[in-house]
A and B are shown apart, each in its own frame.
Chain A
């Protein structure tokens, strides 16, 4: 249906553009009024990352439906592109969105390696982008003036959960386990920095490959620690949690993780093995803001599911576009003006609560620490602590933070390994 709509609309636009040219541009302002503001969604609808990608689309559709496709008085049109979840696909689809469809803003993509593949390209083409992918440097050492990220960096939630492990749970010895790729490295680096600077010790760091059929060999190495911090993403947490429980560690060694580790949308795939797991997230389906109540209700009604970070991220992305449209006004179709407007937004009522965008384009807002508990026949992430106004730099001054290398497998150096 979308495909045909796109084609019809394109035909119409060609006609309209021809008319505009014929009347020597006199109708230019009228045309601008009539032409919808175009939002391109880069998502993943096929392949292994499709779960998150489909939820991104659902989240954005929910927002646009609620707004009847009109944001700040401006008609908007959505064009959805499926990247297939790989950098080459992301690049191709971005080119299509920018050069063929002439979108005014892009939302997405899902994965960090897709983000890195297109960051320079969107800047060259002056196309603003509202990101979900967590790659730290996009809003840090390689700041891109056309990109904002209303969700969080890889480390943003892990800083908070490390603080929680130390100061609330009083853990002193931790092991980390996460996929051996940038998102995992950045998350575990952030956890280690805050945990060790606060007096804890990370005594084991395990890096299973992204594709690991069975986590048992890694879990068997965990050893004697107070807690295990993890940053698994996609469907890997499901596999990991079952193996962890099967080996009898669930009762012995508590688990802590980032937002993808126990996203609300994963709960329906999990059972008892997830009970008691702590996770940090910038979004909680249980959060009580008005927009979140509307969002959760609409997602339940239209898709019969509990939304997680991917869906919420895109609903919020839609809110960012709405707020920036209000700020940019007539200049909204100018890429640079719209990108500047995106940096100025201040949102009060969003599904994640109030947040602002810092000078490098990343959100400053709440981080929720949730504990997974049984709820009726299923599971629920109950918020046990909220860290307010968390920036991507945690409590460190930005300048000092940026002098360090980006979090990686080797930084911070692991001094306490046993």
Chain B
């Protein structure tokens, strides 16, 4: 086989200009911390609500993220609009969540260990189901056309799409805050989080709330998966990579707390970005050290309430 020389443009690039990169590196990291934090918020807020209200550590939450990512990506690759695809993914995952809550979890009410084991088992089933349908090949849908490329400011490359993810997360946070703090439904959810038996006693349909919150949590995870797919790509194992991140955020922020999920997500976003650069030798534990500190010093989480 003939060997051909390299294109001249590449060879001449060997003598590159040196310019200060330090500033741009920190800038990139800061912007990226917010973007990753936004994505983590979308992922973990559902987990937090479900755990806060229903006391179920839903170990299927990572699978909801994965399912949303696969469904959304498939639709995007079939040329459906990106945001419509993400909403469709959220709806589909919400339906799956509803079926699981009504059909399975409901029968195990009050038996927390059984519920944990059920969601864990379902996460394995979901993983192999995805492998069957989508094979093991990684998928990575393109970002929506208007959001491709990056802004270059002071040498800092800021991809538009990551900014969009942050914006979407902030909008979702605002909507959820309105829902929880300013509507009747939200008041009932808060009552359920604070004391489910009393809420039931005063006539709040806690059982319906459970289904609603479970579907909402699943939908948010599915939405996060679809929105995160262009950044994270979709592949078998993504579920078990994302689940611990959601757990850490919720442990730090406090279960059932919107503010906690939001602040926790940004803390993890910053730790993930700056920690990897400043303390590379601690790359593996960087996320867990603060979690352990919170568990020791404030077991209910930064914004969590002490459950009586």
Contacts and interface: CB of A to CB of B under 8 A. Distances in A.
Interface of A: 45-54, 168-172, 180, 206-209, 211, 213-214, 216-218, 220-221, 223-224, 226, 234-235, 238-239, 242-243, 246-248, 252, 254, 265-266, 268-271, 368, 383-386
Given A217-B32, A248-B152, A51 B236 contact: yes
A168 B5 contact: yes
B232 A50 contact: no
B16 interface: yes
Contact of A170 (B14, B16, B159, B242): B14
A38 B231 CA distance: 45
Given A168-B6, A386-B3, A270 B140 contact: yes
Contacts of A213: 36, 232, 241-242, 245, 272
Nearest to B245: A213
Interface string B154-187: 0001010110000000000000000000000000
Contacts of B137: 51, 265-266, 268-269
Contact of A223 (B11, B21, B159): B21
B83 interface: no
Given A168-B6, A238-B140, A54 B237 contact: no
Nearest to A53: B136
Contacts of B24: 220
Nearest to B141: A271
A384 B2 CA distance: 7
Given A48-B235, A238-B235, 7 more contacts: A54-B136, A206-B280, A211-B237, A214-B232, A247-B28, A266-B137, A385-B3
A175 to B, nearest CB: 12
A218 B276 contact: yes
B273 interface: yes
28 contacts: A46-B127, A48-B237, A49-B136, A50-B131, A50-B136, A51-B236, A52-B136, A169-B11, A170-B11, A170-B14, A209-B284, A211-B237, A217-B274, A220-B28, A221-B25, A242-B231, A246-B161, A247-B157, A247-B159, A248-B152, A252-B16, A254-B10, A265-B137, A269-B139, A384-B3, A385-B1, A385-B4, A386-B1
A248 B1 contact: no
Contacts, number: 145
B295 interface: no
Nearest to B231: A214
Contacts of A265: 137
B140 A169 contact: no
A252 B245 CA distance: 33
A221 B274 CA distance: 11
Given A214-B36, A220-B277, A235-B233, A248 B150 contact: yes
B236 A242 contact: no
A248 B242 CA distance: 26
Contacts of A234: 235
Contacts of B29: 216-217, 220
A218 B161 CA distance: 19
Given A226-B14, A270-B140, A214 B235 contact: no
B25 A266 contact: no
A239 B280 contact: no
Given A220-B28, A238-B235, A47 B127 contact: yes
